[in-house]
C-alpha cells in the first residue's frame, strides 16, 4: 500500500512538473492587496491610502456608461477596442495604428516582455522601481540589472550606462515615478533615448502623467521605434478596478501585440467606462485639482508629526520618516492597527519613507488622527 502511494505521488509530481523558468521562481506576488490585509486584521480599513487608487472616483458619465454596458455583459468585449482606440487617437493626435489597449499597464507590460525578452536577455531598471515589471521579466527568463536611485529619483544617466555595460535589450523608466512621486524633464528623457545602445527599447511608464507638470511630457516622435509609452485609466480617471490601459509606439511594435495578447481580455464594461471617462475632460480637471489639494493636506499632516513630505507629481506622497526601513515598516504596521492602509518602498534608502495615496478629506482626516497614535506605538 505504501509503495503504491509512493508510486502515485511520483506520477502526480511528474504530471504537475512546472516548466524550468517558473519552477525556479519563488511563489510570490508583487503586492499584498488591502483585502488580504483586512482579512488578516479581521476588519475593514477606515482609510484606504496604500494602492494609489483614485478615491475621488470616476466620471459620473463613465459610471453611467458602465451601468448601461452591464446589460450586454453576456457578450465578449470588442477584441480590437475599436471605439476606444479611435477616441484615444483623436485625443492624442496619433494614428490609431500607434495605439494598443490592454488590461492595464500591468497586462501591457507582461505582453511587451513576452514579445521582446528571450531567456537570458538583459533588462535594466531602477532598484526600488515598480516591482510588477520585474515580476514579468523574471517570469519570462530575462536577467535584471538594477541601478540605484539618485536623490530619491530614477537616474537616466545611470540607466543608460548600465544598458551599455550589460548589453540591455530593454530599459524601464517610470515618469512620474512610483514609489517616490518624483519626475524627470521630458527633454532629459529625449536625450536619454539618444544615448541608449542600438537595439535597446525604452519602456516609458507614464501611468501618473496626468498629474505631472507639462515639463515632464517627452516630445518624442510617436513612431520612434526606440520607445514604447504606457498609460492607464486606473489613476487619474479612477478606473483601477476596470483594469484598462493603453500603449503607444511604432505601429510595427504595436501590431506585434496581436501575436501574444488575450484578444478578449479587455471586458466591454471597462471599454465603455474608459471611453466615457476620456470624453469627460472636465471631470479629469476636477480630479487633478482635488489631488493637488490632497497632496498639500498630506504634506501638512506629515509636518505636524515631525516628518517630511517629498515633492510629488503623482496622486500619492512619499513621506520621509527620517529613520530607516525597519522603522518605516513598523509605522506601516502601526497604522494598519489604527485602521489605515498605506504602503512603503521596498529598497533602501527609499524604504525610510512611507507612501500615502491622495484621497477625499474624510479619509485624510482619519490618517491625520491615526498617525500620531501610530508613532506613539513605536
Q: What is the pLDDT of residue 4?
A: 53
Per-residue model confidence as pLDDT tens for the chain (378 residues): 455 555 565 666 677 888 999 988 888 777 889 999 999 989 999 999 999 999 999 999 999 999 999 999 999 999 999 999 999 999 999 999 999 999 999 999 999 999 999 999 999 999 999 999 999 999 999 999 999 999 999 999 999 999 999 999 999 999 999 999 999 999 999 999 999 999 999 999 999 999 999 999 999 999 999 999 999 999 999 999 999 999 999 999 999 999 999 999 999 999 999 999 999 999 999 999 999 999 999 999 999 999 999 999 999 999 999 999 999 999 999 999 999 999 999 999 999 999 999 999 999 999 999 999 999 999
Half-sphere exposure for 153 (CA within 13 Å, toward CB): 14
Please, are residues 359 and 238 in contact by the beta-carbon 8 Å criterion?
no
DSSP conformation letters of 16-83: TPPPHHHHTS-S--SS--HHHHHHHHTS--SEE-SS---TT---HHHHHHHHHHHTTTTSPPPTT-HH
Contact status, residue 308 vs residue 322, Cβ threshold 8 Å: yes
Q: Which fold, 31-56+282-377? A: 3.90.1150
Do strands 99-102 and 245-249 pair parallel, antiparallel, or not at all (unpaired)? antiparallel
Residue 335 φ/ψ, nearest 5 degrees:
-70, -35
Beta carbons of 238 and 57 less than 8 angstroms apart: yes
Q: Is 192 exposed, middle or buried (0-12, 13-18, 19+ CB in 10 A)?
A: buried
Query: For the chain, where are the alpha helices, taking DSSP H only?
Result: 2-15, 20-23, 34-41, 60-70, 82-92, 104-116, 131-139, 156-166, 186-195, 251-256, 268-278, 281-304, 325-337, 361-377
What's the confidence (pLDDT) of residue 285? Answer: 98
CA 118/CA 293 separation, integer angstroms: 45
Verdict on whether the full-model pTM lies above 0.75: yes
**Strands of the sheet with 316-320, listed across from one edge:** 308-309, 316-320, 353-357
Which pLDDT score is estimated for 12?
Answer: 64
Respond yes or no on whether the N-terminal peptide bond of residue 350 is cis (omega within 30° of 0).
no
Burial of 127 (0-12, 13-18, 19+ CB in 10 A): middle
Q: Where are the CATH 3.40.640.10 domain residues in the chain?
A: 60-279
Does domain 60-279 bear CATH number 3.30.300.30?
no
pLDDT of amino acid 27: 82
Nearest to 210 by CA among 100, 140, 284: 284
3-class DSSP assignment, residue 336: helix
Residue 10 is predicted with a pLDDT of 65
**Residue 328 Rama label (left phi>0; alpha psi -120 to 50; beta):** alpha
Q: Which of 309, 286, 285 is nearest to 367 (CA)?
A: 309
Amino acid at each position: 500500500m505504501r509503495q503504491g502511494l509512493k508510486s502515485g505521488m511520483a506520477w502526480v509530481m511528474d504530471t504537475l512538473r512546472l516548466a524550468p523558468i517558473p519552477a525556479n521562481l519563488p511563489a510570490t506576488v508583487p503586492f499584498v492587496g488591502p483585502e488580504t490585509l483586512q482579512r488578516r486584521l479581521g476588519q475593514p480599513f477606515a482609510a484606504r491610502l496604500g494602492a494609489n487608487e483614485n478615491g475621488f472616483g470616476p466620471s459620473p458619465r463613465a459610471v453611467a456608461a458602465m451601468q448601461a454596458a452591464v446589460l450586454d455583459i453576456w457578450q465578449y468585449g470588442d477584441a480590437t477596442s475599436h471605439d476606444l482606440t479611435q477616441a484615444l487617437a483623436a485625443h492624442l493626435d496619433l494614428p490609431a495604428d500607434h495605439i494598443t489597449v490592454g488590461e492595464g499597464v500591468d497586462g501591457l507590460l507582461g505582453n511587451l516582455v513576452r514579445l521582446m525578452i528571450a531567456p537570458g536577455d538583459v533588462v535594466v531598471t531602477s532598484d526600488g522601481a515598480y516591482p510588477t515589471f520585474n515580476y514579468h521579466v523574471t517570469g519570462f527568463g530575462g536577467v535584471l540589472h538594477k541601478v540605484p536611485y539618485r536623490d530619491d529619483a530614477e537616474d537616466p544617466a545611470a540607466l543608460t550606462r548600465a544598458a551599455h555595460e550589460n548589453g540591455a535589450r530593454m530599459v524601464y523608466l517610470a515618469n512620474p515615478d512610483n514609489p517616490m512621486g518624483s519626475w524627470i524633464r521630458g527633454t532629459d528623457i529625449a536625450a536619454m533615448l539618444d544615448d541608449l545602445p542600438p537595439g535597446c527599447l525604452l519602456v516609458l511608464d507614464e501611468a501618473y502623467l496626468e498629474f505631472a507638470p507639462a515639463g515632464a511630457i517627452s516630445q518624442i516622435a510617436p513612431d520612434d521605434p526606440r520607445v514604447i509609452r504606457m498609460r492607464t485609466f486606473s489613476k487619474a480617471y479612477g478606473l483601477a478596478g476596470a483594469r484598462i490601459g493603453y500603449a503607444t509606439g511604432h505601429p510595427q511594435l504595436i501590431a506585434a501585440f496581436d501575436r501574444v495578447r488575450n484578444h478578449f481580455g479587455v471586458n466591454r464594461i471597462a471599454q465603455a467606462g474608459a471611453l466615457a471617462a476620456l470624453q469627460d475632460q472636465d471631470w479629469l480637471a476636477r480630479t487633478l485639482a482635488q489631488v493637488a489639494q490632497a497632496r498639500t493636506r498630506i504634506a501638512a499632516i506629515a509636518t505636524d508629526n515631525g516628518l517630511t513630505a517629498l515633492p510629488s507629481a503623482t496622486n500619492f506622497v512619499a513621506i520621509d520618516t527620517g529613520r530607516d526601513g525597519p522603522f518605516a515598516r513598523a509605522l506601516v504596521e502601526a497604522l494598519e492597527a489604527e485602521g489605515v492602509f498605506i504602503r512603503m518602498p521596498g529598497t533602501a534608502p527609499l524604504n525610510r519613507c512611507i507612501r500615502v495615496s491622495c484621497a477625499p478629506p474624510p479619509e485624510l482626516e482619519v490618517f491625520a488622527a491615526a498617525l500620531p497614535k501610530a508613532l506613539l506605538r513605536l
